[in-house]
Amino acid sequence: MRIRLIAGLLFAGACAAARDTTGPGDAIHDSEFVNGNVRLHLSDFPTAGGVMFVAPAVTGGVGGFAVTSTQYGSLCALAVTGRSETQGSAIALHITFRDTNATCGDDFRALNYDAFVSQPPGTYSVTVIHEFGGMIHTMRVATVTVQ
């Protein structure tokens, strides 16, 4: 009985993930956004449903820090912007997603952003905040060292 249940779930998952990906929806779309000390590279690409994306990654570097995140969404459906707020050694990176009200394909897409926030050398407490539809979510809090 348990084997039939597992086989049924695997079959259902395979059917849900099966879709024609040979059309123009296969394209990877790229965009670049700069706002003050925030440089945001955006891209989207086809993906399967049911993928569990993880919280943003925050990494210190030379001349600033990087934040990388992937989630469901597309550059057709969402306008994405970024800005930072600094108070002493605390930095809040706000990534805002706005609905474009565009007519987009019905394929599953993943939206990726790579943000680089320029900062002088030091140790910072970084809070990554996603804003969408009036809702604000703290996605990650991390301490980074900028060289």
| 142 closest CA partner among 102, 92, 104, 97 | 92
Is it the case that residue 137 has pLDDT exceeding 60? yes
Q: For residue range 33-70, what is the model confidence (pLDDT) as tens digits?
A: 999 999 999 999 999 988 889 899 999 999 999 999 99
**Residue at token pair 């570097």:** 61
pLDDT band for 26, please (50, 70, 90 cuts): low
| pTM, rounded to two decimals | 0.80
